[in-house]
Structure 1
Amino acid sequence: MLAVATAALALLCPSAGAVQGGTPDGNGHPNVGLSVFLYHGIPLWRCTGTMVAAKVYLTAGHCTGIDTDLGVAPDSAQVWFTSGAIPRGTHGFDGTPCKPTDTGYPCKGEFSGTPVPHPGWNGFLTQPNTHDIGVVQLTQAPNVGLSKVAPAGYLDTLATQRGRQDVDFTIVGYGVQFESPNLEVALRQRFVGTNQLQNLRSHLAGGFNLIMSDSAGNGTGGSGTCFGDSGGPVFHTDSDGQVWQVAVISYGTKYCHGSSAAFRLDNAQARAFLSSQGVPLN
Protein backbone atom coordinates (compact mmCIF):
# COMPACT_ATOMS: atom_id res chain seq x y z
CA MET A 1 0.00 0.00 0.00
CA LEU A 2 1.17 3.53 -0.69
CA ALA A 3 2.57 5.62 2.11
CA VAL A 4 0.36 8.01 4.05
CA ALA A 5 0.73 11.75 3.65
CA THR A 6 4.06 13.22 4.75
CA ALA A 7 3.91 16.00 7.31
CA ALA A 8 4.99 19.49 6.37
CA LEU A 9 7.18 19.87 9.45
CA ALA A 10 10.54 18.12 9.80
CA LEU A 11 10.42 14.99 11.94
CA LEU A 12 6.61 15.07 12.13
CA CYS A 13 4.59 12.40 10.37
CA PRO A 14 0.91 11.48 10.27
CA SER A 15 0.11 8.69 12.71
CA ALA A 16 -1.91 6.99 10.02
CA GLY A 17 -1.65 1.80 13.29
CA ALA A 18 -1.96 0.40 16.65
CA VAL A 19 -1.36 1.93 20.02
CA GLN A 20 2.23 1.22 21.07
CA GLY A 21 2.60 -0.13 24.57
CA GLY A 22 -1.14 -0.70 24.84
CA THR A 23 -3.13 -3.89 25.24
CA PRO A 24 -5.65 -5.65 22.97
CA ASP A 25 -8.96 -3.84 23.29
CA GLY A 26 -11.25 -6.83 22.75
CA ASN A 27 -14.82 -5.52 22.97
CA GLY A 28 -13.86 -2.46 25.00
CA HIS A 29 -14.54 0.03 22.20
CA PRO A 30 -16.72 -1.74 19.60
CA ASN A 31 -17.51 1.51 17.76
CA VAL A 32 -13.83 2.14 16.93
CA GLY A 33 -13.02 0.75 13.50
CA LEU A 34 -10.24 0.16 11.02
CA SER A 35 -10.66 1.87 7.64
CA VAL A 36 -8.93 1.54 4.28
CA PHE A 37 -9.21 4.48 1.88
CA LEU A 38 -9.21 3.89 -1.86
CA TYR A 39 -8.90 5.90 -5.06
CA HIS A 40 -10.58 4.39 -8.13
CA GLY A 41 -10.46 1.05 -6.33
CA ILE A 42 -6.74 1.25 -5.46
CA PRO A 43 -6.04 0.91 -1.71
CA LEU A 44 -4.12 3.99 -0.54
CA TRP A 45 -3.75 3.94 3.24
CA ARG A 46 -5.43 2.82 6.41
CA CYS A 47 -6.62 4.74 9.45
CA THR A 48 -8.67 4.35 12.62
CA GLY A 49 -11.99 6.07 13.30
CA THR A 50 -15.02 6.19 15.56
CA MET A 51 -18.77 6.13 15.08
CA VAL A 52 -20.25 9.42 16.35
CA ALA A 53 -23.64 9.29 14.58
CA ALA A 54 -25.69 6.48 13.08
CA LYS A 55 -23.82 6.55 9.75
CA VAL A 56 -20.97 8.96 10.51
CA TYR A 57 -17.48 7.57 11.09
CA LEU A 58 -15.12 10.24 12.47
CA THR A 59 -11.44 10.18 11.51
CA ALA A 60 -8.62 12.50 10.39
CA GLY A 61 -8.57 14.93 7.49
CA HIS A 62 -5.36 13.43 6.10
CA CYS A 63 -7.17 10.07 5.94
CA THR A 64 -10.16 11.42 4.03
CA GLY A 65 -8.60 14.19 1.95
CA ILE A 66 -5.96 14.92 -0.65
CA ASP A 67 -2.39 13.66 -0.44
CA THR A 68 -0.29 16.29 -2.19
CA ASP A 69 2.55 13.84 -2.91
CA LEU A 70 0.22 11.51 -4.79
CA GLY A 71 -2.02 14.26 -6.13
CA VAL A 72 -5.17 12.30 -5.32
CA ALA A 73 -7.85 12.15 -2.65
CA PRO A 74 -9.63 8.93 -1.74
CA ASP A 75 -13.10 8.51 -3.21
CA SER A 76 -14.28 5.54 -1.14
CA ALA A 77 -13.57 3.79 2.14
CA GLN A 78 -13.96 0.29 3.56
CA VAL A 79 -14.47 -0.11 7.31
CA TRP A 80 -14.17 -3.01 9.77
CA PHE A 81 -15.26 -3.03 13.42
CA THR A 82 -13.91 -6.48 14.29
CA SER A 83 -11.40 -6.13 17.15
CA GLY A 84 -8.94 -8.20 15.12
CA ALA A 85 -6.58 -9.38 14.10
CA ILE A 86 -8.28 -8.70 10.76
CA PRO A 87 -6.94 -11.23 8.22
CA ARG A 88 -5.65 -10.25 4.81
CA GLY A 89 -7.95 -10.91 1.90
CA THR A 90 -7.27 -11.89 -1.68
CA HIS A 91 -5.81 -8.60 -2.98
CA GLY A 92 -2.15 -8.76 -4.00
CA PHE A 93 -1.07 -5.42 -2.44
CA ASP A 94 0.57 -4.64 -5.78
CA GLY A 95 -0.82 -1.18 -6.51
CA THR A 96 -3.64 -2.48 -8.70
CA PRO A 97 -7.35 -1.78 -8.15
CA CYS A 98 -9.46 -4.18 -6.13
CA LYS A 99 -11.33 -6.65 -8.32
CA PRO A 100 -15.03 -7.39 -7.88
CA THR A 101 -14.00 -10.87 -6.82
CA ASP A 102 -11.54 -9.68 -4.14
CA THR A 103 -12.62 -10.44 -0.59
CA GLY A 104 -11.53 -9.18 2.81
CA TYR A 105 -8.86 -6.65 3.76
CA PRO A 106 -8.13 -4.20 2.16
CA CYS A 107 -10.86 -4.39 -0.51
CA LYS A 108 -14.08 -5.55 1.11
CA GLY A 109 -14.96 -4.25 4.54
CA GLU A 110 -17.94 -4.85 6.74
CA PHE A 111 -19.19 -1.39 5.76
CA SER A 112 -18.38 1.14 3.05
CA GLY A 113 -18.84 4.84 2.51
CA THR A 114 -17.68 8.17 1.08
CA PRO A 115 -14.80 10.16 2.65
CA VAL A 116 -15.48 13.83 3.48
CA PRO A 117 -12.49 15.91 4.69
CA HIS A 118 -12.84 19.24 6.43
CA PRO A 119 -13.03 21.86 3.64
CA GLY A 120 -9.91 23.50 5.05
CA TRP A 121 -7.74 20.38 4.68
CA ASN A 122 -5.16 21.14 1.95
CA GLY A 123 -2.81 18.17 2.24
CA PHE A 124 -0.36 19.82 4.63
CA LEU A 125 -0.11 19.78 8.40
CA THR A 126 0.07 23.57 8.57
CA GLN A 127 0.53 24.48 12.23
CA PRO A 128 -1.31 25.05 14.39
CA ASN A 129 -4.61 24.90 12.51
CA THR A 130 -4.15 21.74 10.49
CA HIS A 131 -7.87 21.23 9.73
CA ASP A 132 -7.01 17.54 10.29
CA ILE A 133 -10.51 16.21 10.71
CA GLY A 134 -12.82 14.30 8.39
CA VAL A 135 -15.61 11.76 8.29
CA VAL A 136 -16.80 8.82 6.25
CA GLN A 137 -20.49 8.90 5.45
CA LEU A 138 -21.38 5.20 5.56
CA THR A 139 -24.10 3.67 3.40
CA GLN A 140 -25.41 1.60 6.34
CA ALA A 141 -25.49 2.05 10.09
CA PRO A 142 -23.14 -0.42 11.84
CA ASN A 143 -25.11 -0.24 15.12
CA VAL A 144 -21.96 -0.68 17.20
CA GLY A 145 -22.58 2.22 19.60
CA LEU A 146 -21.66 5.90 19.43
CA SER A 147 -19.06 8.08 21.12
CA LYS A 148 -20.06 11.43 22.61
CA VAL A 149 -18.20 14.48 21.32
CA ALA A 150 -16.86 16.72 24.09
CA PRO A 151 -18.67 20.02 24.74
CA ALA A 152 -17.25 23.31 23.51
CA GLY A 153 -14.10 24.35 25.36
CA TYR A 154 -13.91 21.12 27.33
CA LEU A 155 -10.12 20.78 27.13
CA ASP A 156 -9.42 24.35 28.17
CA THR A 157 -10.19 23.46 31.78
CA LEU A 158 -7.31 20.98 31.67
CA ALA A 159 -4.75 23.47 30.37
CA THR A 160 -4.33 25.25 33.70
CA GLN A 161 -4.79 22.27 35.99
CA ARG A 162 -1.96 21.63 38.40
CA GLY A 163 -0.05 18.48 37.64
CA ARG A 164 -0.91 18.34 33.94
CA GLN A 165 1.14 15.15 33.65
CA ASP A 166 -1.55 13.45 35.74
CA VAL A 167 -4.25 14.15 33.15
CA ASP A 168 -4.66 10.88 31.30
CA PHE A 169 -6.32 10.18 27.97
CA THR A 170 -7.43 6.85 26.57
CA ILE A 171 -6.33 6.22 22.99
CA VAL A 172 -7.58 3.46 20.70
CA GLY A 173 -6.21 2.36 17.34
CA TYR A 174 -5.25 -0.39 14.90
CA GLY A 175 -1.97 -1.33 13.28
CA VAL A 176 1.66 -0.62 13.93
CA GLN A 177 3.09 -1.81 17.24
CA PHE A 178 6.71 -1.00 16.43
CA GLU A 179 8.35 1.39 13.98
CA SER A 180 12.04 1.77 13.15
CA PRO A 181 14.02 2.69 10.02
CA ASN A 182 14.13 -0.95 8.88
CA LEU A 183 11.20 -2.67 10.57
CA GLU A 184 7.46 -2.18 10.97
CA VAL A 185 5.26 -4.57 12.96
CA ALA A 186 1.56 -4.19 12.09
CA LEU A 187 -1.20 -6.41 13.46
CA ARG A 188 -4.49 -4.90 12.18
CA GLN A 189 -5.83 -5.39 15.69
CA ARG A 190 -7.54 -2.85 17.95
CA PHE A 191 -5.39 -1.76 20.89
CA VAL A 192 -6.12 0.55 23.80
CA GLY A 193 -3.67 2.54 25.90
CA THR A 194 -3.13 5.66 27.96
CA ASN A 195 -1.36 8.90 27.05
CA GLN A 196 -0.62 11.91 29.22
CA LEU A 197 -1.29 15.58 28.56
CA GLN A 198 1.78 17.64 27.68
CA ASN A 199 0.18 20.94 26.74
CA LEU A 200 -2.64 22.73 24.98
CA ARG A 201 -1.02 26.16 24.67
CA SER A 202 2.25 25.74 22.76
CA HIS A 203 2.77 27.16 19.27
CA LEU A 204 2.03 23.68 17.89
CA ALA A 205 -1.18 23.41 19.91
CA GLY A 206 -2.60 26.89 19.42
CA GLY A 207 -6.11 25.96 20.51
CA PHE A 208 -6.43 23.37 17.75
CA ASN A 209 -4.22 20.48 18.88
CA LEU A 210 -3.83 18.38 22.00
CA ILE A 211 -0.15 17.52 22.56
CA MET A 212 0.44 14.20 24.36
CA SER A 213 3.45 12.20 25.49
CA ASP A 214 4.34 9.04 23.54
CA SER A 215 6.14 7.04 26.20
CA ALA A 216 5.06 3.69 24.69
CA GLY A 217 5.19 2.22 28.15
CA ASN A 218 8.80 2.71 29.22
CA GLY A 219 7.88 1.97 32.82
CA THR A 220 5.33 4.77 33.08
CA GLY A 221 2.20 2.80 32.31
CA GLY A 222 1.70 5.02 29.31
CA SER A 223 1.52 4.22 25.63
CA GLY A 224 1.98 5.95 22.31
CA THR A 225 0.49 6.40 18.86
CA CYS A 226 1.95 5.28 15.55
CA PHE A 227 1.07 4.80 11.87
CA GLY A 228 -2.53 3.61 11.42
CA ASP A 229 -3.76 5.24 14.61
CA SER A 230 -4.49 8.38 12.58
CA GLY A 231 -8.08 9.48 13.03
CA GLY A 232 -8.48 7.29 16.09
CA PRO A 233 -10.21 8.61 19.18
CA VAL A 234 -8.73 10.33 22.19
CA PHE A 235 -11.07 9.90 25.17
CA HIS A 236 -11.18 11.67 28.51
CA THR A 237 -13.30 10.68 31.51
CA ASP A 238 -14.68 13.57 33.55
CA SER A 239 -15.18 13.67 37.31
CA ASP A 240 -18.71 12.26 36.93
CA GLY A 241 -17.46 9.25 34.99
CA GLN A 242 -18.74 10.46 31.61
CA VAL A 243 -16.44 9.50 28.74
CA TRP A 244 -16.00 12.14 26.05
CA GLN A 245 -14.17 11.97 22.74
CA VAL A 246 -12.00 15.07 22.88
CA ALA A 247 -9.83 14.72 19.76
CA VAL A 248 -8.77 12.62 16.75
CA ILE A 249 -5.17 11.44 16.44
CA SER A 250 -3.31 13.55 13.90
CA TYR A 251 0.51 13.30 13.85
CA GLY A 252 3.53 12.19 15.84
CA THR A 253 7.32 12.40 15.96
CA LYS A 254 9.56 10.27 13.77
CA TYR A 255 9.53 6.54 14.51
CA CYS A 256 6.60 7.11 16.86
CA HIS A 257 8.61 8.24 19.88
CA GLY A 258 8.41 11.49 21.83
CA SER A 259 5.14 13.37 21.39
CA SER A 260 1.98 13.09 19.36
CA ALA A 261 -0.79 15.53 18.54
CA ALA A 262 -4.52 15.13 18.13
CA PHE A 263 -6.93 17.58 16.51
CA ARG A 264 -9.35 18.93 19.10
CA LEU A 265 -13.09 18.42 18.72
CA ASP A 266 -14.09 21.07 21.26
CA ASN A 267 -13.16 24.12 19.17
CA ALA A 268 -15.67 26.06 17.08
CA GLN A 269 -14.16 24.99 13.75
CA ALA A 270 -14.39 21.26 14.47
CA ARG A 271 -17.87 21.58 15.96
CA ALA A 272 -19.19 23.46 12.92
CA PHE A 273 -17.84 20.76 10.60
CA LEU A 274 -19.25 17.94 12.71
CA SER A 275 -22.64 19.62 12.87
CA SER A 276 -22.66 20.00 9.08
CA GLN A 277 -22.10 16.24 8.80
CA GLY A 278 -25.03 15.33 11.04
CA VAL A 279 -23.14 14.67 14.26
CA PRO A 280 -25.08 15.47 17.47
CA LEU A 281 -23.21 17.91 19.72
CA ASN A 282 -23.36 18.44 23.48
Structure 2
Amino acid sequence: MRRSALLASLTTAAVAVVMAGATPASAINTYNAQPAPERTEVGALVVQYDRDGNPATPDVVRWSCSGTMISANIFLTAAHCTANRPAGARFYVSLDQDVQAAIDASNAAGGTPEEIAARVGVEGVAHWDPAYPGNSADAHDIAVIEFNAAQAAELADRWDFTPANLPTAGQLDALGSRALDEATWQVMGYGTEEALNGPGGQTHPGGGVRMKAELGFDALNNTWVRLAMNESRDYGGACYGDSGGPNFVTLAGKLVLAGTTITGDSPCYATNVAYRMDSPTARDFLAGFVDLP
Protein backbone atom coordinates (compact mmCIF):
# COMPACT_ATOMS: atom_id res chain seq x y z
CA MET A 1 0.00 0.00 0.00
CA ARG A 2 2.23 2.75 -1.08
CA ARG A 3 0.14 5.40 -2.62
CA SER A 4 -1.40 2.78 -4.69
CA ALA A 5 -5.08 2.20 -4.63
CA LEU A 6 -6.69 -1.16 -4.21
CA LEU A 7 -7.08 -1.49 -7.92
CA ALA A 8 -8.00 -4.97 -9.08
CA SER A 9 -9.26 -5.91 -12.49
CA LEU A 10 -11.76 -3.11 -12.98
CA THR A 11 -13.12 -2.57 -16.44
CA THR A 12 -12.98 0.71 -18.30
CA ALA A 13 -16.76 0.78 -18.31
CA ALA A 14 -16.94 0.33 -14.57
CA VAL A 15 -14.50 3.14 -14.03
CA ALA A 16 -16.41 5.53 -16.25
CA VAL A 17 -19.59 4.80 -14.39
CA VAL A 18 -18.13 5.68 -11.04
CA MET A 19 -16.50 8.96 -11.86
CA ALA A 20 -15.33 10.71 -14.98
CA GLY A 21 -11.56 10.72 -15.35
CA ALA A 22 -11.02 8.31 -12.47
CA THR A 23 -9.88 4.73 -12.41
CA PRO A 24 -10.44 1.84 -10.04
CA ALA A 25 -8.26 1.55 -7.01
CA SER A 26 -5.59 -1.05 -6.45
CA ALA A 27 -3.01 -0.93 -3.67
CA ILE A 28 -1.68 0.98 -0.70
CA ASN A 29 0.81 3.83 -1.13
CA THR A 30 4.34 3.73 0.08
CA TYR A 31 4.17 7.12 1.80
CA ASN A 32 3.19 5.65 5.14
CA ALA A 33 2.28 2.04 4.38
CA GLN A 34 2.85 -0.75 6.87
CA PRO A 35 2.16 -4.48 6.83
CA ALA A 36 -1.12 -5.36 8.58
CA PRO A 37 -0.77 -8.93 9.89
CA GLU A 38 -3.08 -8.11 12.81
CA ARG A 39 -6.02 -7.18 10.54
CA THR A 40 -7.08 -10.74 9.81
CA GLU A 41 -10.65 -9.71 8.96
CA VAL A 42 -9.25 -8.08 5.81
CA GLY A 43 -8.74 -10.57 2.99
CA ALA A 44 -8.03 -11.04 -0.68
CA LEU A 45 -10.52 -12.09 -3.33
CA VAL A 46 -8.98 -14.91 -5.38
CA VAL A 47 -10.56 -15.74 -8.73
CA GLN A 48 -10.22 -18.93 -10.76
CA TYR A 49 -11.30 -18.50 -14.38
CA ASP A 50 -10.70 -19.50 -17.99
CA ARG A 51 -8.73 -16.67 -19.53
CA ASP A 52 -8.90 -17.61 -23.21
CA GLY A 53 -11.75 -20.10 -23.63
CA ASN A 54 -9.30 -22.79 -24.70
CA PRO A 55 -9.74 -26.03 -22.70
CA ALA A 56 -6.18 -27.04 -23.63
CA THR A 57 -4.71 -24.21 -21.57
CA PRO A 58 -4.97 -24.12 -17.76
CA ASP A 59 -7.33 -21.86 -15.90
CA VAL A 60 -5.93 -18.81 -14.15
CA VAL A 61 -5.81 -18.58 -10.34
CA ARG A 62 -5.00 -15.06 -9.16
CA TRP A 63 -5.85 -12.57 -6.45
CA SER A 64 -7.93 -9.78 -7.89
CA CYS A 65 -9.40 -7.49 -5.24
CA SER A 66 -9.57 -6.93 -1.50
CA GLY A 67 -12.42 -7.15 0.98
CA THR A 68 -13.47 -7.66 4.59
CA MET A 69 -15.22 -10.31 6.65
CA ILE A 70 -18.31 -8.62 8.10
CA SER A 71 -19.74 -11.78 9.68
CA ALA A 72 -18.67 -15.40 10.10
CA ASN A 73 -19.90 -16.24 6.59
CA ILE A 74 -19.98 -12.96 4.62
CA PHE A 75 -17.03 -11.29 2.88
CA LEU A 76 -17.70 -7.73 1.66
CA THR A 77 -16.11 -6.51 -1.57
CA ALA A 78 -16.99 -4.47 -4.71
CA ALA A 79 -19.40 -5.45 -7.48
CA HIS A 80 -16.87 -4.60 -10.16
CA CYS A 81 -14.67 -7.33 -8.67
CA THR A 82 -17.28 -10.04 -9.23
CA ALA A 83 -19.58 -8.96 -12.08
CA ASN A 84 -18.79 -9.51 -15.77
CA ARG A 85 -16.31 -12.30 -15.13
CA PRO A 86 -15.84 -15.08 -17.70
CA ALA A 87 -18.44 -17.82 -17.57
CA GLY A 88 -17.61 -20.38 -14.93
CA ALA A 89 -15.45 -18.07 -12.81
CA ARG A 90 -15.14 -19.24 -9.20
CA PHE A 91 -14.47 -17.04 -6.18
CA TYR A 92 -12.30 -17.82 -3.16
CA VAL A 93 -11.30 -15.75 -0.14
CA SER A 94 -7.90 -15.85 1.53
CA LEU A 95 -7.12 -14.17 4.84
CA ASP A 96 -3.38 -14.81 4.50
CA GLN A 97 -1.07 -11.87 5.06
CA ASP A 98 0.81 -12.68 1.82
CA VAL A 99 -1.68 -14.12 -0.64
CA GLN A 100 0.72 -13.89 -3.59
CA ALA A 101 3.21 -16.13 -1.79
CA ALA A 102 0.39 -18.58 -1.06
CA ILE A 103 -0.58 -18.66 -4.75
CA ASP A 104 3.04 -19.13 -5.81
CA ALA A 105 3.47 -22.02 -3.37
CA SER A 106 0.23 -23.66 -4.44
CA ASN A 107 1.14 -23.37 -8.13
CA ALA A 108 4.50 -24.97 -7.36
CA ALA A 109 2.74 -27.86 -5.62
CA GLY A 110 0.77 -28.52 -8.80
CA GLY A 111 -2.65 -30.02 -9.33
CA THR A 112 -5.83 -28.87 -11.01
CA PRO A 113 -6.83 -25.20 -10.96
CA GLU A 114 -9.49 -26.11 -8.40
CA GLU A 115 -6.91 -27.80 -6.17
CA ILE A 116 -4.52 -24.86 -6.51
CA ALA A 117 -7.26 -22.36 -5.60
CA ALA A 118 -8.58 -24.45 -2.69
CA ARG A 119 -5.14 -24.51 -1.07
CA VAL A 120 -5.07 -20.70 -1.21
CA GLY A 121 -8.58 -19.81 -0.06
CA VAL A 122 -12.10 -20.96 0.71
CA GLU A 123 -14.66 -20.95 -2.10
CA GLY A 124 -17.94 -19.07 -1.74
CA VAL A 125 -20.77 -17.73 -3.87
CA ALA A 126 -20.71 -14.17 -5.20
CA HIS A 127 -23.74 -11.87 -4.96
CA TRP A 128 -23.72 -8.29 -6.18
CA ASP A 129 -26.24 -5.47 -6.20
CA PRO A 130 -28.51 -6.15 -9.19
CA ALA A 131 -28.62 -2.39 -9.86
CA TYR A 132 -24.85 -2.31 -10.53
CA PRO A 133 -23.33 -0.42 -12.37
CA GLY A 134 -25.76 2.36 -11.53
CA ASN A 135 -24.54 5.89 -12.22
CA SER A 136 -22.10 8.50 -10.91
CA ALA A 137 -24.41 9.44 -8.04
CA ASP A 138 -24.85 5.84 -6.90
CA ALA A 139 -22.83 3.15 -8.62
CA HIS A 140 -24.36 0.30 -6.56
CA ASP A 141 -20.80 -1.05 -6.56
CA ILE A 142 -21.15 -3.51 -3.70
CA ALA A 143 -20.93 -7.30 -3.51
CA VAL A 144 -20.43 -10.10 -1.03
CA ILE A 145 -19.02 -13.59 -1.09
CA GLU A 146 -21.31 -15.87 0.91
CA PHE A 147 -20.11 -19.09 2.54
CA ASN A 148 -22.29 -22.02 3.55
CA ALA A 149 -21.92 -23.59 6.99
CA ALA A 150 -19.14 -25.98 5.96
CA GLN A 151 -17.22 -23.24 4.15
CA ALA A 152 -17.59 -20.85 7.08
CA ALA A 153 -16.28 -23.55 9.40
CA GLU A 154 -13.27 -24.01 7.11
CA LEU A 155 -12.60 -20.26 7.16
CA ALA A 156 -12.69 -20.23 10.96
CA ASP A 157 -10.43 -23.27 11.11
CA ARG A 158 -7.83 -21.77 8.77
CA TRP A 159 -7.80 -18.19 10.06
CA ASP A 160 -8.67 -16.42 13.29
CA PHE A 161 -10.61 -13.22 12.66
CA THR A 162 -13.17 -10.93 14.25
CA PRO A 163 -15.68 -9.51 11.75
CA ALA A 164 -15.44 -5.77 11.09
CA ASN A 165 -17.87 -3.27 12.62
CA LEU A 166 -20.33 -1.75 10.17
CA PRO A 167 -21.63 1.80 10.73
CA THR A 168 -25.17 2.65 11.75
CA ALA A 169 -27.55 4.22 9.24
CA GLY A 170 -26.35 7.70 8.26
CA GLN A 171 -23.61 7.64 10.90
CA LEU A 172 -21.16 9.68 8.83
CA ASP A 173 -23.77 12.34 8.08
CA ALA A 174 -24.62 12.59 11.78
CA LEU A 175 -20.97 13.17 12.70
CA GLY A 176 -20.44 15.91 10.15
CA SER A 177 -17.36 16.99 8.22
CA ARG A 178 -15.53 18.58 11.15
CA ALA A 179 -15.61 15.44 13.28
CA LEU A 180 -14.74 13.28 10.28
CA ASP A 181 -11.78 15.52 9.47
CA GLU A 182 -10.48 15.15 13.03
CA ALA A 183 -10.93 11.37 13.07
CA THR A 184 -8.24 8.85 12.11
CA TRP A 185 -8.80 7.10 8.78
CA GLN A 186 -7.05 3.98 7.52
CA VAL A 187 -7.26 2.14 4.22
CA MET A 188 -6.27 -1.52 3.92
CA GLY A 189 -5.83 -4.00 1.11
CA TYR A 190 -3.59 -6.10 -1.08
CA GLY A 191 -3.16 -3.65 -3.94
CA THR A 192 -0.19 -2.27 -5.79
CA GLU A 193 1.85 0.85 -5.17
CA GLU A 194 1.63 4.28 -6.70
CA ALA A 195 2.89 4.75 -10.24
CA LEU A 196 6.62 4.77 -10.94
CA ASN A 197 7.85 6.52 -14.06
CA GLY A 198 10.26 4.53 -16.18
CA PRO A 199 11.58 4.32 -19.74
CA GLY A 200 8.53 2.32 -20.82
CA GLY A 201 6.02 4.50 -19.02
CA GLN A 202 4.33 4.13 -15.66
CA THR A 203 4.28 0.88 -13.70
CA HIS A 204 2.59 -0.10 -10.43
CA PRO A 205 4.91 -2.37 -8.44
CA GLY A 206 4.03 -4.58 -5.51
CA GLY A 207 0.70 -6.09 -4.56
CA GLY A 208 -0.49 -9.32 -3.02
CA VAL A 209 0.43 -8.48 0.60
CA ARG A 210 -2.03 -7.04 3.14
CA MET A 211 -1.01 -3.47 3.96
CA LYS A 212 -2.49 -0.47 5.76
CA ALA A 213 -2.01 3.27 5.50
CA GLU A 214 -3.40 6.35 7.20
CA LEU A 215 -5.13 8.88 4.96
CA GLY A 216 -7.13 12.07 5.41
CA PHE A 217 -10.80 13.00 5.13
CA ASP A 218 -11.77 15.14 2.15
CA ALA A 219 -15.51 15.20 1.52
CA LEU A 220 -18.79 13.38 2.03
CA ASN A 221 -21.38 12.76 -0.71
CA ASN A 222 -24.64 10.82 -0.58
CA THR A 223 -22.99 7.47 -1.38
CA TRP A 224 -19.28 8.36 -1.43
CA VAL A 225 -16.67 9.31 1.13
CA ARG A 226 -13.69 10.95 -0.55
CA LEU A 227 -10.37 10.54 1.20
CA ALA A 228 -7.09 12.34 0.59
CA MET A 229 -3.67 10.93 -0.17
CA ASN A 230 -1.12 13.64 0.53
CA GLU A 231 2.59 12.83 0.72
CA SER A 232 3.43 16.15 2.39
CA ARG A 233 1.07 15.21 5.26
CA ASP A 234 2.29 11.60 5.27
CA TYR A 235 -1.07 10.35 4.01
CA GLY A 236 -1.05 7.25 1.86
CA GLY A 237 -3.97 5.65 0.09
CA ALA A 238 -5.26 2.84 -2.08
CA CYS A 239 -4.28 1.65 -5.54
CA TYR A 240 -4.92 -1.17 -8.02
CA GLY A 241 -6.03 -4.38 -6.29
CA ASP A 242 -7.33 -2.55 -3.22
CA SER A 243 -10.82 -2.32 -4.70
CA GLY A 244 -13.46 -3.67 -2.35
CA GLY A 245 -11.14 -3.29 0.62
CA PRO A 246 -12.03 -1.40 3.78
CA ASN A 247 -11.65 2.25 4.68
CA PHE A 248 -11.85 2.36 8.47
CA VAL A 249 -12.51 5.38 10.65
CA THR A 250 -11.84 5.31 14.39
CA LEU A 251 -14.91 6.46 16.33
CA ALA A 252 -14.99 6.35 20.13
CA GLY A 253 -11.93 4.10 20.04
CA LYS A 254 -13.54 1.56 17.67
CA LEU A 255 -12.66 0.82 14.05
CA VAL A 256 -15.76 1.30 11.91
CA LEU A 257 -15.86 0.17 8.27
CA ALA A 258 -17.01 3.46 6.79
CA GLY A 259 -16.60 2.54 3.13
CA THR A 260 -15.06 0.23 0.57
CA THR A 261 -12.45 1.37 -1.95
CA ILE A 262 -13.89 1.79 -5.44
CA THR A 263 -11.82 4.28 -7.44
CA GLY A 264 -9.26 7.09 -7.45
CA ASP A 265 -6.79 8.86 -9.71
CA SER A 266 -5.03 6.51 -12.14
CA PRO A 267 -1.44 6.98 -10.84
CA CYS A 268 -2.70 6.59 -7.24
CA TYR A 269 -1.26 9.91 -6.13
CA ALA A 270 -4.14 11.96 -4.75
CA THR A 271 -7.58 10.52 -4.04
CA ASN A 272 -9.33 7.45 -2.71
CA VAL A 273 -13.08 7.26 -3.32
CA ALA A 274 -14.98 4.80 -1.13
CA TYR A 275 -18.57 3.57 -1.27
CA ARG A 276 -20.31 4.44 2.00
CA MET A 277 -21.56 1.54 4.11
CA ASP A 278 -23.94 3.78 6.06
CA SER A 279 -25.88 4.80 2.94
CA PRO A 280 -29.43 3.50 2.33
CA THR A 281 -28.36 1.66 -0.83
CA ALA A 282 -25.50 -0.20 0.82
CA ARG A 283 -27.62 -1.05 3.85
CA ASP A 284 -30.53 -2.28 1.73
CA PHE A 285 -28.18 -4.68 -0.05
CA LEU A 286 -26.35 -5.83 3.08
CA ALA A 287 -29.58 -6.41 5.01
CA GLY A 288 -30.10 -9.53 2.90
CA PHE A 289 -26.91 -11.07 4.27
CA VAL A 290 -26.06 -9.70 7.74
CA ASP A 291 -27.74 -8.17 10.79
CA LEU A 292 -27.10 -4.43 10.58
CA PRO A 293 -26.33 -2.14 13.54
Instruction: Please confirm whether the aligned pair reaches a TM-score higher than 0.5, indicating the same fold.
Output: yes
Q: Which amino acid aligns with 2:189?
A: G
Give the structure-2-normalised TM-score: 0.79
Q: Which amino acid aligns with 1:244?
A: V
Q: Does 1:31 align with 2:41?
A: yes
Q: Partner of 2:244 in structure 1?
A: 231
Aligned length: 259
Q: Partner of 1:5 in structure 2?
A: 11
Deviation at 1:11, TM superposition (A): 2.6
Deviation at 1:102, TM superposition (A): 7.0
Compared with structure 1, are the counterparts of its residues 44 and 116 closer, same or farther at alpha carbon in structure 2 (3 Å cutoff)?
Answer: farther
Name which of 193, 208, 211 aligns with 1:177.
Answer: 193
Q: Partner of 2:270 in structure 1?
A: 258
Mean CA deviation greater in 224-233 or 72-81: 72-81
Deviation at 1:99, TM superposition (A): 6.2
Give the structure-1-normalised TM-score: 0.81
Q: Which amino acid aligns with 2:35?
A: D
Q: Partner of 2:98 in structure 1?
A: 84
What is the distance in 1 between the residues matched to 2:268 and 2:127? 27
Deviation at 1:19, TM superposition (A): 4.5
Deviation at 1:254, TM superposition (A): 1.5
What is the distance in 1 between the residues matched to 2:173 and 2:87? 33
Name which of 205, 211, 214 aligns with 2:229.
Answer: 214
**Conservation of the 8 A alpha-carbon contact between 2:44 and 2:99:** no
Deviation at 1:132, TM superposition (A): 1.0
Root-mean-square deviation (CA), in Å?
Answer: 2.7
What is the distance in 2 between the residues matched to 1:74 and 1:115? 12
Deviation at 1:167, TM superposition (A): 3.3
Q: Partner of 1:95 in structure 2?
A: none
Gapped regions of structure 1 (runs ≥ 5): 93-97
Deviation at 1:90, TM superposition (A): 5.9
Q: Partner of 1:112 in structure 2?
A: 123
Q: Which amino acid aligns with 1:210?
A: V
**Conservation of the 8 A alpha-carbon contact between 1:4 and 1:45:** no
User: For 1:11-46, what per-residue CA distance to the aligned partner results, in whole angstroms no more than 9, with x for missing partners?
Assistant: 311114335434333432111001123445545761
Deviation at 1:62, TM superposition (A): 0.8
Identity fraction in percent: 24
**Conservation of the 8 A alpha-carbon contact between 1:247 and 1:264:** yes
Deviation at 1:157, TM superposition (A): 2.7
The answer to which structure has the higher strand fraction is 1
The 5-angstrom pairing of residues 1-282 of structure 1 reads: 3-6=9-12, 7-8=15-16, 9-40=19-50, 41-43=59-61, 46-66=64-84, 72=86, 75-84=89-98, 86-87=100-101, 88-89=104-105, 100=112, 104=116, 108-122=119-133, 126-139=135-148, 140-141=151-152, 142-143=155-156, 144-161=161-178, 165-180=181-196, 181-200=201-220, 205=221, 207-215=222-230, 218-238=231-251, 240-277=252-289, 279-282=290-293
Q: Which amino acid aligns with 1:81?
A: L
User: For 1:117-149, what per-residue CA distance to the aligned partner results, in whole angstroms no more than 9, with x for missing partners?
Assistant: 111113x7x212011111011341223220111
Compared with structure 1, are the counterparts of its residues 3 and 57 closer, same or farther at alpha carbon in structure 2 (3 Å cutoff)?
Answer: closer
Q: Which has the higher contact order (CA 8 A, sep 6+)?
A: 2
Compared with structure 1, are the counterparts of its residues 81 and 210 closer, same or farther at alpha carbon in structure 2 (3 Å cutoff)?
Answer: same
**Conservation of the 8 A alpha-carbon contact between 1:152 and 1:268:** yes
Compared with structure 1, are the counterparts of its residues 121 and 255 closer, same or farther at alpha carbon in structure 2 (3 Å cutoff)?
Answer: same
SS of alignment partner, residue 192 of structure 1: strand
**Conservation of the 8 A alpha-carbon contact between 1:12 and 1:251:** yes
Q: Which amino acid aligns with 2:11?
A: A
